[in-house]
Amino acid sequence: MKAGIIFTGTGPILILTTYDSFSNERFIEKMKAKGINKFIAVEVPVELCKKKYGNHFNVILNDIKQEDDLRVLDYNGFNVFYNFPFDTWGEEFRYESYEE
């Protein structure tokens, strides 16, 4: 299980995913299927998400039903950005599709 902040054109969202990496081709395809063709992703600690989101975290975690899945934990960009200090962020991954 990974947690990550995904920066998109509309602002950051917080996700939980079973993918092993944000660079995983299947993860990228899942993002593209959701209309996200350009993003920056940084991993954040799952335990910190659990602490900050409490029961909502558990509800979202229980909704992940398959091996290759992702769920949005928070789509309020302000909350996402300010809930996670920079020193909790992992290395960033950038993706940009040139397909039209």
What tens digit of pLDDT does each residue of 40-69 get? 999 999 999 999 999 999 998 887 777 778
pTM of the model: 0.91
| pLDDT grade for 100, boundaries at 50, 70 and 90 | low
Burial of 74 (0-12, 13-18, 19+ CB in 10 A): buried
Residue with the two structure tokens 């599709």:
97
Please check whether residue 19 is in contact with residue 68, taking contact to mean a CB–CB distance below 8 angstroms: yes
Please check whether residue 89 is in contact with residue 44, taking contact to mean a CB–CB distance below 8 angstroms: yes
For the chain, the domain total comes to 1
Tokens of 27: 């993860």
Range of the domain at 28: 2-96
